[in-house]
Chains A and B, each alone.
Chain A
Amino acid sequence: MRNFSKVAALAALAMLAVSAPAMAQSLDQTINEGFANATGWFVNLIFSPFPGTTFPWIVMWLVIAATVFTLYFGFIQFRAFPHSISLVKGDYSDPNDAGEVSHFQALATALSGTVGLGNIAGVAVAVGIGGPGATFWMILAGLMGMASKFTECTLGVKYRNEYDDGTVSGGPMYYMTKGFAERGLPAGKFMAVLFSIFCILGALGGGNMFQANQAHAQISNVVGDYPGWITGLVFAGIVFAVIVGGLKSIAKVTEKVVPIMGVLYVLTALVILIMNYNMIGWAFGEIFVGAFTGAGVAGGMVGALIQGFKRAAFSNEAGVGSAAIAHSAVRTKEPITEGFVSLLEPFIDTVVICTMTALVIIITGQLVSDPNTGLYLLDEGASTIQTVDGNKGVALTSAAFSSAIPFFKYILAIAVILFAFSTMISWSYYGLKAWTFLFGEGQGKELAFKIIFCIFVVIGASASLGPVIDFSDAAIFAMAVVNIVALYFLMPVVKGELDSYLSRLKSGEIKKFH
């Protein structure tokens, strides 16, 4: 496996070196075609539809999982919501633990890994294909996904490894091996290995290529078109400086600016909504009607549903397992408390931020509809809805915001770059955790992964959106396939923790410190 990776890395490097003198656009094309050919089979496998339908089995898989967890834990995402907020505020934190990782910090770090292009570009893709109705399914998926997140993050903390030097490692790999062994279930190790492989692919796909791709789209949208590999090289250089060179200052600045950008994004969206307050009712009407009738959208209602669920899962990563890695460093005696805190993540990410993006796109009239029938007009090929300037992905969101506040596209460009960057840093960490789980720790081994990661930044920025988004989705959903199987087997453990915690909370054994 390690040798294979080295060969892959060398091949990618050689590809770059050979094509560099050629015309810039043809380099992008070479990378694009090579990439699409190499990943097509994997994408087809993950997104293959149920026989006789167009409905991808993977979407059903996520929907069923979120429903099962929601019912099994008795709508925990609504019951525990107020308690989750008190936990984040630190009401239940022991003052003597000050200086350790707080619930707020674990949540903020996990959020900066998920709040990113999924919220800005992903939503635009969903609404561009599935119409306004996709928003309804996206919100529903976000609400249900809270239960999946709750389950995986509780397990992530419960079965994490704490080493003698005080560092911790956690995530699905650990609950698969330790949790399965504890319950006498077979194949835990096998699943952990499978998950780790998919996690590495997910880190290179959605956590890297998609980010680089859309960051490039955004920059060229502002400054004019130029070859993607240039953006790729610059980004790769900065990522390299941070993850290999240990340049902490850049990461630190990003970690501080990203939350500010997130708040600014939501506030701007709110301002645009207030400016068009008389259309909010209409927009929700479009969302509800579109959700159940598919009003002239490619693929009808099912198309809207598929897009909504796909983009929600891609954005909030509920059930994917990545958050379990980020949340496992928190200092707590009760693993379940991190589960409570983590369920806020899909809420903030999807129910709040993604919905804002969708509303702005709908309200600013980016989607072209037939003035006579009110139905949306489709592009040639009938795969996407026509937009005012033919924008898709991040360019569509940018056009929507700029139509209300012209200079916002520059702020959005900066936000996109920072979001993309912070997501890359987070996923390089998740990928590295999976990598070291497979190959063991060691400087040489870790360096190999980091270099591969940087090479994929260049590939992602050069390839076109279609193959990149297909591969990114496929890799992230492949993680969910393995992770959710493990969650089904381990959910009684979470149930035990939950019942015990709630009864102690009720009896007053667990008390507030503040």
Chain B
Amino acid sequence: MSHKIVVGYDGSDSAKAALAFATDLAKAQGGSLVVAHVLEWSPYSFLTPNELEERHKRRGEELERAEAAILAPAVEGLKESGLEIETALKYGGIAATLGEIAKDRGADQVVIGRNGEPGLTSRVFGSVAISLAQAAPVPVTIVP
């Protein structure tokens, strides 16, 4: 059975560590990687009329920028690994969307980096890592 691993990737140091960990894992198990980036988005946010008018245009720009600045360099860096690489780029809540990507792509685990120290914000609102661990449909590995 071929293993597929979704890596939550945003270009940060911890995300790079997660990607390196997942790469080793995939190599060892003979699996493939899905490098996934989620653009934080809530359909229940409030926008001005001007923002509404330009939203479709901005969305296109945001997707292009994320593709060029985050996903493309990551894929480029993995070229030499010889692994089979897919990418995923979506809007939504980060934890929930990573879970959905894992389900849609038939992945059997998710690897993400842990972001910094547990501060007040994550105490009040929870962190992506914790929400994902609670809600993901597949096993989750959190890389420090």
Would you call B46 and A255 a contact (CB within 8 A)? yes
Q: Does A426 contact B (CB under 8 A)?
A: yes
Given A98-B41, A98-B92, A326-B52, is A255 in contact with B47 using a C-beta cutoff of 8 Å?
Answer: yes
A90 at interface (Cβ–Cβ under 8 A)? Answer: yes
Majority SS at the chain B contact face? helix
Considering residues A256, A259, A429, which has the most beta carbons from chain B within 10 angstroms of its beta carbon? A429
Tell whether A166 is near chain B: CB-to-CB under 8 Å. yes
| B54: A residues at CB distance < 8 A | 166-167
- Give the residue name and chain of the B residue nearest to A105 (CB): B47
B57 touches A165 (CB 8 A): yes
Indicate whether A426 sits within 8 Å of B49 (C-beta atoms), given known contacts A100-B55, A165-B57, A168-B56: yes
Q: Which of B43, B48, B59 contacts A104 (CB 8 A)?
A: B43
Q: Give the nearest-CB partner of A101 in chain B.
A: B55
The reply on B24 being an interface residue by CB < 8 A is: no
| B35-69 vs A, Cβ < 8 Å mask (1 yes, 0 no) | 00001010111111110111111011011000000
A residues in contact with B57, CB < 8 Å: 165-167
Interface mask (A90-128 → B, CB under 8 Å = 1, otherwise 0): 100101001111101110110011000000000000000
Task: List, in ascending order, chain A residues with CB within 8 A of B49's CB.
Answer: 109, 113, 325-326, 329, 425-426, 429-430
Whether a CB of chain A sits under 8 angstroms from the CB of B90 is: yes
- B86 within 8 Å of A (CB atoms): no
Q: Does the CB pair B55–A329 fall under 8 Å?
A: yes
With both beta carbons as reference points, the residue of chain A lying nearest to B56 in the complex is identified as A166
Complex contact A93–B53 (CB within 8 A): no
Contact in complex: A98, B91 (CB < 8 Å): yes
**Contact present for A105 and B100 (CB under 8 Å):** no
Q: Counting chain B CB atoms within 10 Å of each CB, which of A93, A99, A259, A425 scores highest?
A: A99
Give the residues in chain B near A113, CB-CB below 8 Å. Answer: 49
- In Å, the complex CA distance between A139 and B43 comes to 30
Chain A's closest residue to B60 (CB) is A166
A105 to B52, CA, bound (A): 8
Number of CB contacts from chain A to chain B under 8 A: 83
A258 neighbours in B (Cβ, 8 Å) = 46
Report the minimum CB–CB distance from A180 to chain B (whole Å): 24
Interface pair B41/A108, CB less than 8 Å apart: no
Main secondary structure, interface of A, reads helix
Q: In the complex the two chains form, is A105's CB within 8 Å of B46's CB?
A: yes
Q: Determine whether the beta carbon of A331 is less than 8 Å from that of B50.
A: no
Q: A99-B41, A99-B62, A255-B46 are in contact. Are A106 and B52 (CB under 8 A)?
A: yes
CB atoms of B56 and A108 under 8 A apart = no
B53 and A169 within 8 A (CB)? yes
| Contact between A90 and B48, CB atoms less than 8 A apart | no
A146 touches B (CB below 8 Å): no
Q: Does A495 contact B (CB under 8 A)?
A: no
Of listed B48, B52, B90, B100, residue having the most chain A CB within 10 A: B52
By size class, the interface of chain A is: 35 or more
Question: B63 — which chain A residues lie within 8 A by C-beta?
Answer: 99
Given A93-B43, A99-B91, A429 and B56 contact (CB-CB distance below 8 Å): no
Query: Whole-angstrom distance between the alpha carbons of A54 and B82 in the complex?
Result: 85
Question: When the two chains form the complex, which single residue of B44, B46, B59, B92 contacts A100, counting CB atoms closer than 8 Å?
Answer: B59
Of B43, B44, B62, B91, most A-chain CB atoms within 10 Å:
B43
Within 8 A of B (CB), among A305-331: 325-326, 329-331
Cβ B53 vs Cβ A425 within 8 A: no
Taking the nearest CB of chain A, how far is it from the CB of B65, in angstroms? 13
Residue A9 interfacial (CB < 8 Å): no
**Which B residues touch A326, using CB under 8 A?**
49, 52
Residues A95 and B46 in contact in the complex (CB < 8 Å), given A168-B56, A326-B52: no
B60: A residues at CB distance < 8 A: 166
Asked if A109 contacts B52 (CB within 8 A), the reply is yes
Taking CB atoms, residues of chain B closer than 8 Å to A358 are none
Q: In the complex, which of the residues A99, A100, A109, A259 contacts B39, with contact meaning CB atoms closer than 8 Å? A: A99
Please provide the chain A residues from 154 to 169 with a CB less than 8 Å away from any CB of chain B in the complex: 165-169
Q: Write the chain B residue with the least CB distance to A259.
A: B46
Bound CA span A248–B52, Å: 13
Q: Closest residue of chain A to B61, judged by CB?
A: A166
The residues of B that contact A168 with a CB separation of less than 8 Å are 53, 56
Is B46 a contact of A112 with CB atoms below 8 Å?
yes
Interface residues of A (CB under 8 A from B): 90, 93, 95, 98-102, 104-106, 108-109, 112-113, 165-169, 248, 251-252, 255-256, 258-259, 325-326, 329-331, 425-426, 429-430
Question: What are 21 A-B contacts defined by CB distance under 8 Å?
Answer: A95-B100, A98-B41, A98-B91, A99-B59, A99-B62, A102-B43, A105-B45, A106-B52, A108-B46, A109-B47, A166-B57, A166-B59, A167-B53, A255-B46, A255-B47, A255-B48, A329-B49, A329-B53, A331-B55, A426-B49, A429-B50
The 4 A-B residue pairs with the shortest CB-CB distance, nearest first, are: A166-B57, A99-B91, A102-B43, A98-B91
Given contacts A98-B41, A101-B47, A429-B50, 12 further A-B contacts (CB under 8 A): A99-B59, A100-B55, A105-B43, A109-B46, A109-B52, A166-B54, A166-B57, A167-B56, A167-B57, A325-B49, A331-B55, A429-B48
